[in-house]
Structure formats: C-alpha cells, structure tokens
Amino acid sequence: MLDSIKIKEWVNYYSDVVILTLKDSSESLRASQALLLSLRKLGKNATLTEATECPVSINKNAGANNKEAQADFLISIKEGGSKLSQLFYEKTNAGLNLFLKTDGKELKKEDIILRPLKQEQLLITVGVDSYDKVPSSLKEKSNFIINIDNKTNNKWFGNINLIEYEKPLEELSFEVVRVLGEMLFEKGTQANPLSLEVSSLLKKAFSSLQFSQKLNLLTVKLTHLDFVSTKAQITDIKFILEKLVSGLFPFQELLLLWEQNSSPLAIRGIFYSKSNQEKVKKVSAVFPSQQKNNSLIFKTTEASLEKVELQITSALN
C-alpha cells in the first residue's frame, strides 16, 4: 500500500534525490523518467544513475557527479527573470568575494543557494531487487530509500517498499508520480493562491488519476458529488485540464471524464492528445465531439463513467 504521507514528508525533507535503475532495462528506465521529471518540477536536485540509454534531455545532470567528487560545496544561482552574463572573483585576506553581472531582473538573495555536496540524499530504486546492487557511493550518502519493484524475489530493503508482483513498473512508479504531482500543486497553490473550490477539485482529480501502460493513457474521472463537495463549477474543468497537461507527466494522452449535472445525468469528456491525430479520430467516432487544438470535447447520453471509459479505451486499442 502506498504511504503518500510518508513519501511527501521525505521528499520535502531532502533536496538531493537519486533514482537508481538497472543497466540495460528499458522497462526500469521508462518507469524512472516520470519520477525524474516530476522531482525536478518540484525543484529537487534529482539525477538518474545506472541507466545506459537515458536520453540527453532527461539525464542532463549526469556529469554533475564527477564535479561533485572534487568539491565540498555548491553555489546554485536561480536565474529566473535575470540572466547571468558574467562572474568573477576576488581573493581577500578575509576570504573570497564573488561578483555577478546580470541582464534583466535583479537577483535576489534567495536566488543564491549554498549547499554542501556531501549532505545526505533520498534514494529511489526502480526495478532493483536487492540492496546489494546499490553502489557503495550511494549507500554512504542515502539515508532513506523508496524501493519500487515488481519482482517476487525483492528483498524489501527500503524504508518505503512499493512492491506489487507482476504489476508493470511504469504503473507502480506512476503512483509515486501522482503523489509528487499533488505536492507540486500544493506548492503552487501557496505561491499563486487559487480559490478553495478549484484547489479542492484539483485534489479530487489527482486522487482519481489512473494510468494505463498499454495505452500510455492517463484517465481522470470526476463525479457529480466531487463538484458538490468542493463547490466547484463545471467551468473549472478547463483549469484541471491545463494543470494535467502542463508538462508534469511525460505522457501523450489524457482522458478526462465528468458527470454533468443534468436531467437525466450524463457523462461529458475531453480526450487530449499531444500529437496523435489518429487516436483523436478514433475517439471522435465514438461520441459526438468538437475539436479544439489538441483536445477533443465530446458529449454522451451515458450515465456511467466506467462505461464511457470502456468505450473510449476499446476504440483506442
């Protein structure tokens, strides 16, 4: 069973996170990529190690470990609206002065972060069945381990063990990604306050998220009771869609279904596809629909969310 509270607690605690996956395992690598992207969205210094075929865009920090081995501290500068154009230093009797020249907005004190490189880190293992397979360098720095695997011979060596035999690793890792997504939007809500109604509906959407590995499809189902309990409006669906396709998840398709408060009750939906127009055509053939950019908005006369979901997924198979 996934311990969401404990995962949030420890991800919040650690700034450095390392994802360890087995070499030459495409399944483990795919399962790790969504975790990596989600952690970086949260502002974590997340890296992926032991993957031999990791895309450059995903593993862009892969060379950082060599530099870390030569230093004790790292100064990170968040550019944001400003661009760092020059950096030089001056040695003094008292120490060292750093001079930064920027273009654009002025740097703030909170944009400059000093952190020790030898501090402890969170380790997430994906498809690793034994602690013996964890490199000694990671064992020395990792104080907390989230162990994700589907093998019957897994040794349950993590502080949190997300082990479900024979279940695809991508589906298991997605359960953690969903928790990270909740953290991201909780964090975003504090920085850019949303109405209580919209925030509550967003949490309902995340709690209902399901991922199909076969279709590479995210599915969200919202009931009429969800709208009643959160006091949200049907018009807030647009905001939910924007958040779900904002880049947190490296998935290409999303199916968003909700119960429309009508008489009789009817299901409405949106099918989003980033680039696959063939799938859009398949869905449009199932229910009357209207396409807007990458989204297909459709109406049904059905009253069952599950029945509509089955009809859509059957058309996509």
Query: 56-102, pLDDT tens digit by residue?
Result: 444 444 444 444 555 667 777 777 667 787 888 888 888 888 888 88
Tell me the C-alpha distance between 278 and 66, whole Å: 45
pLDDT at 198 (0 to 100): 83
Q: Residue 222 pLDDT more than 70?
A: yes
Q: What are phi and psi of 15, to 5 degrees?
A: -90, -30
Kindly calculate the radius of gyration of the chain based on its CA atoms and give it in whole angstroms.
23
Domain extents for the chain? 4-65+117-176, 197-316
106-110, 114-118, 165-169, 203-207: least confidently modelled range: 114-118
Q: Average pLDDT of 182-191?
A: 63
SS3 49: strand
Helix (H) or strand (E) holding 29: helix 26-41
Q: Average pLDDT of 175-195?
A: 70
Token pair listed for 30: 């795919």
Report if pTM > 0.75: no
Q: Residue 291 pLDDT more than 80?
A: yes
Going by pLDDT thresholds of 50, 70 and 90, the confidence category of residue 307 is: very high
Helix (H) or strand (E) holding 64: helix 64-68
Tell me the C-alpha distance between 161 and 149, whole Å: 8
Spell out the CATH class of 197-316.
alpha beta
Token pair listed for 68: 């870390």
- Least Cα distance to 178 among 116, 249, 123 occurs for 249
Angle at 204 between CA 186 and CA 234, to 5 degrees: 110
Superfamily of domain covering 4-65+117-176: inorganic pyrophosphatase (n-terminal core) (3.90.1640.10)
